[in-house]
């Protein structure tokens, strides 16, 4: 589906090309907009930083959070050159922008080697059936921190 040209999406696409052409990472870009102005930009920087979490959306969210001095992006819109992967989608939900716009689909990404379907599939499986072994240990000891958090009267909810 193609709508009329959008300058914010065009900038996200430009960021995807800039990052890829600079060998920073894959062909993904994102911008965050508040009150009609771009407040943050990001491109995939996985290769340049050796950071598997340095996806365009996460980079842009981190920058926008600094600009706004807030861990919530209420009142913001996120434009991304591709439908977010599971990690980015989780980060986007935690950041709480008002809306997300995307250009390429996850199927388009899969066609060029960025296929995240296995992660979606793994999330549906019980822990013991996942490819990555997961074993719960020391729950009682870890619950101490949770209880202290629950008892704090000065905690910041998020």
- Catalytic, 57? Answer yes
Q: 11, 30 in Cβ contact below 8 A?
A: no
Q: How far apart are CA 68 and CA 47, in angstroms?
A: 27
Q: Which of 122, 121, 116 is nearest to 85 (CA)?
A: 116
Q: How far apart are CA 23 and CA 85, in angstroms?
A: 20
Catalytic residue among 11, 57, 83, 148: 57
Q: Where on the phi/psi map is residue 50: left (φ > 0), alpha (ψ -120 to 50), or beta? A: left
- Sort strands 99-104 and 76-82 into parallel, antiparallel or unpaired: parallel
Give catalytic residue positions: 57
């Amino acid at each position: 589906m193609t709508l009329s040209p959008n300058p914010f999406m065009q900038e996200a696409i430009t960021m995807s090309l800039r990052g890829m052409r600079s060998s920073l990472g894959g062909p993904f870009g994102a911008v965050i907009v508040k009150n009609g102005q771009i407040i943050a930009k990001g491109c995939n920087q996985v290769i340049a930083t050796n950071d598997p979490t340095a996806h365009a959306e996460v980079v842009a969210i981190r920058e926008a959070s600094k600009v706004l001095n807030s861990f919530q992006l209420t009142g913001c819109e996120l434009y991304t050159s591709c439908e977010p992967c599971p990690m980015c989608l989780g980060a986007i939900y935690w950041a709480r922008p008002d809306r997300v716009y995307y250009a390429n689909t996850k199927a388009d990404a899969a066609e060029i080697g960025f296929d995240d379907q296995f992660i979606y599939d793994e999330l549906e499986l019980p822990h013991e059936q996942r490819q990555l072994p997961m074993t719960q240990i020391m729950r009682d000891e870890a619950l101490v921190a949770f209880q202290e958090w629950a008892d704090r009267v000065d905690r910041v909810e998020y």
